[in-house]
Structure 1
Amino acid sequence: MTYDPATREYLVGRVTGDWYESNDDEVSYVRPVHWYGSASRDALPTDARARLGCGTTIFRVSEDVATELARAAGVQGWVCVPEVQKKGGEHEASETPRVDETPAVGLDDDARAASAEDGIERIKDRVLDLEWDQMEALTAGLLRAMEYYARITARGPDGGRDVIATPDALGLESSYIVAEVKHRKNAMGTPEIRSFIGGLRPGDRGLYVSTGGFSRDARLEADSSIIPVRLIDLDDFVRLYTDVYDRVDEETRALLPLVRIWWPA
């Protein structure tokens, strides 16, 4: 089994051969794997997610967790299988056996990286449990931690202006950051991004936060905008939040509190 953080999916397959040493300097071993399918992390119960982590090391899952994975993927007959990590972090389920690569495990750096990535995935789980209005407040808190003056707009038709952030407290300096926040599972497409860009004014800077991510065409639409627009998905948001957490105010920390974990150098 291996985990793809971009899609929040666990890919499950069967090892079809023995380990052998790779000539590639970036990996130590390779092993052929026949992929069966994938299961969404969001479809798993909390205890299964906690026990699986982010899957950056090789391990064998327990039978009860394997059962939950099979249920989430709608596949019968899965058994406990070891995880294999492909170099570069990109995975595709396939009916054709192929060779995947995994870094050597057991070193402090690998364990530390695995723990850090597992923490990121657990924070994502917490973010997805928030209500939509809490997600707007969290976005405003993130912008304040980044030294902007941010406020949530009044309820009602806002034209995609959920949060407004300015460089100064009076809002007299340019440029305004106009943020739209979508807290839902489905990815935002081109129509949503196009509508958001259409509501921006000259001098604005657009920020679109979507916990469900964005389609490829939506990203292309943002890239082609004359007005600067930044798209932030769940992974981007969590990593930004952890980067500035030391500057996050108490009100925002109450929504998503974190604990720093120390590791020996």
Structure 2
Amino acid sequence: MSDVICWGLHAGRSGEADRLFRQQNRIGIGWPQMGDLAELAATRTAFKARFGDVFPDEKDGAIPVKAGMLYRFLHEMERDEIVLYPSKITKKIHIGRIKSDYRYDPSFLRGYPHQREVEWLKEVSRTHFSQGALYELGSAMSLFQVQNYAEEYLAALEGRELVSETEDDDSVSLVAEEVEQITRDFVQKRIEAELKGHPLESFVANLMEVMGYHARTTRDSRDGGIDVIAHRDELGIEPPIIKVQVKSTSGTVGIAEVSSLYGTVEASEVGLFVTLGGFSRDATQFAATRSNLRLIDGEEFLDLVLRYYDDLSSKYQAVIPLKRVFIPEAVEEAADG
């Protein structure tokens, strides 16, 4: 069955179309505002034009993707091809065969009027499949063609064992890395959008507090000067006093700005420069030769935010909403002998 085409399909973010899929033996896709797709010319251009008319506020980059899924559901899917449905209700992978052409029927579930009949052939536990296969089926798209791991799903349908239980799965680490990167990108975008200027200074002060310091912001108007004062003791009279400058730009901070901060730092004090961007080589070399000067670039700043996230003020957790989850980590097996 290696030439058989497999389609992955989701039933909505919370599985709202599960009854349509499993009880009515139909698969469906949303965007009911599009009307009967069979009335559109059989071209991607026609589908994109219609989608843009119906959803004028949709981002330009998203229109080809979403209109393309509708086009594929009608014009690329064919009878007897395989459909893979990861149910959020049963927690299993349902494998079926497409049994009809496209039909427009909003009578059972108005939000999913674009339908095809399906014959469900088998349901398989998610644990049967490799992490890579599950990852491919977990696509963010509502409809997509399964390619990289199609043979694994077809083997499960036929009762063949394609992947051994002890097989190393490199995709485990890839999944973890991608989740981590998506999270970092999200945090950075939220900080850049919501905490520009003085709000970022207050955020840095709160971060330093949960790291064990006493910290306070200085006057709002001192752009380019000292933005945060921090110290270990409660009264702020024991050295070292930490003078912090905060830059909310994502550009490169040069040696002039770093040396300017250092010019305000006494011998018994420490200078700390925090930026969402990076530092020039000259600035980095300048700091490396001074034991009481520390630079924190955007990457290290994100590391600290994620490490101390649970202790941040609820105000900032609301700005950067995150949920703690467990993600897989690749297992390194000891060498024999």
Q: Give the Cα separation in 1 of the matches to 2:307 and 2:279.
A: 22
Q: TM-score, normalised by structure 2?
A: 0.45
2:286 to 192, 196, 221: 221
Would you say 1:243 and 2:243 are equivalent positions?
A: no
Contact in 2 for aligned 1:190/1:218 (Cα 8 Å): yes
Q: Give the Cα separation in 2 of the matches to 1:188 and 1:105.
A: 41
Cα shift readout 1:168-192 (whole Å, capped 9, x = no counterpart)? 2211222111110011132111111
- Residue in structure 2 matched with residue 201 of structure 1 by the alignment: 266
1:232 to 296, 310, 325: 296
Q: Give the Cα separation in 2 of the matches to 1:253 and 1:166.
A: 24
2:173 to 109, 132, 138: 109
Shifted more, 158-167 versus 239-248: the winner is 158-167
Would you say 1:168 and 2:233 are equivalent positions?
A: yes
- Residue in structure 1 matched with residue 186 of structure 2 by the alignment: 122
Q: Give the Cα separation in 2 of the matches to 1:47 and 1:243.
A: 34
- Residue in structure 2 matched with residue 82 of structure 1 by the alignment: none
Give the letter for the 2:275 counterpart. Answer: S
Q: Give the Cα separation in 2 of the matches to 1:124 and 1:221.
A: 27
Would you say 1:184 and 2:184 are equivalent positions?
A: no
- Residue in structure 2 matched with residue 138 of structure 1 by the alignment: 203
Identity score, percent: 32
Contact in 2 for aligned 1:134/1:255 (Cα 8 Å): no
Q: CA deviation at 1:146?
A: 0.2
Change in 2 beyond 3 A, CA 1:203/1:254:
farther
> Runs of 4+ in structure 1 displaced over 4 angstroms?
45-48
1:156 to 204, 217, 221: 221
Aligned runs of 1:12-51 on 2, under 5 Å?
A: none
User: Considering only CA atoms, is the larger Rg found in Structure 1 or Structure 2?
Assistant: 2
Number of aligned residue pairs: give it.
168
Q: CA deviation at 1:106?
A: 4.8
1:258 to 308, 322, 326: 322
Q: CA deviation at 1:264?
A: 5.3
Q: Give the Cα separation in 1 of the matches to 2:298 and 2:232.
A: 25
- Residue in structure 1 matched with residue 277 of structure 2 by the alignment: 212
- Residue in structure 1 matched with residue 162 of structure 2 by the alignment: none
